[in-house]
């Protein structure tokens, strides 16, 4: 039986912002391993965030970001209460999302928004590329599906790697904020302007 010290609980709490009892339970489940306890808390938080996904998110912020007077972004992020919309955690998420849109230039928020015609066109192009490479017909669909996932990772904001930490997807960042705030957090829409672009 691993002893869970108060210092260890405090350290985990400082790292994650989770409550003391949650930290203690996570450390017990992880047998005192701090990194594993972080993973336990993240998984639990994401599961809770997914349960909240059907709750109405009608409050929030419209955040702006201008880069070098050449790229401007407006992004709308919603939550359930005005209280959460005013927290530093939520404001930081909104600012990070605006910077992400400016830097990575997504076309859509989520993959469900990509028009079917564009998906079909991409599939056709990928299938033709794979056939020209001489790959066996049996694996063409699997390779095309992989290429399509990569395409979504480029054009859909929530599937892009986060610019400040490419090991984290933007969607995970939103879910983690939802977990910490205890509210449904939704990226509603964004617009990106580039100087001289149509």
What's the CATH number where 119 sits? 1.10.286
Tell me: the pLDDT tens digits for 81-130? 899 999 999 999 999 999 999 999 899 999 999 999 999 999 999 988 88
Residues 122, 48 share a domain: no
Residues 128, 41 share a domain: no
Residues 161, 148 share a domain: no
Buried-exposed string 32-71: b where 16+ CB fall within 10 A, e elsewhere: eeeeebbebbbebbeeebeebeeeebebbbebebeeeeeb
Segments forming the whole domain that contains residue 16: 6-52
Residues 166, 147 share a domain: no
Q: Give residue 50's pLDDT band: very low, low, confident or very high (50, 70, 90).
A: low
Pairing state between β 186-194 and 161-162:
unpaired
Q: For residue 1, tell me if it sits in a domain.
A: no
Residues 29, 13 share a domain: yes
Buried-exposed string 98-108: b where 16+ CB fall within 10 A, e elsewhere: bbbbbebebeb
Q: For residue 38, tell me if it sits in a domain.
A: yes
Q: Give residue 136's pLDDT band: very low, low, confident or very high (50, 70, 90).
A: confident
């Amino acid at each position: 039986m691993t002893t869970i010290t108060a210092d260890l609980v405090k350290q985990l709490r400082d790292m994650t912002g989770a409550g003391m009892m949650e930290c203690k339970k996570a450390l017990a489940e992880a047998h005192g391993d701090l990194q594993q306890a972080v993973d336990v808390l993240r998984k639990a938080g994401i599961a809770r965030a997914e349960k909240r996904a059907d709750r109405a998110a009608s409050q929030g912020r419209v955040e702006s970001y201008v880069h070098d007077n050449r790229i401007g972004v407006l992004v709308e992020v919603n939550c359930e209460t005005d209280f959460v919309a005013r927290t530093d955690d939520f404001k930081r998420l909104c600012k990070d999302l605006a910077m992400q849109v400016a830097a990575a230039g997504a076309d859509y928020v989520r993959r469900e928004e990509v028009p079917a015609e564009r998906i079909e066109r991409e599939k056709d192009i990928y299938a033709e590329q794979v056939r020209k490479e001489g790959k066996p017909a049996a694996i063409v669909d699997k390779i095309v599906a992989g290429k399509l996932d990569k395409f979504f990772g480029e054009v859909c904001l929530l599937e892009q790697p986060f610019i400040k930490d490419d090991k984290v997807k933007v969607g995970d960042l939103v879910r983690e904020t939802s977990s910490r705030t205890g509210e449904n957090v939704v990226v509603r829409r964004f617009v990106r302007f580039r100087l001289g672009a149509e």
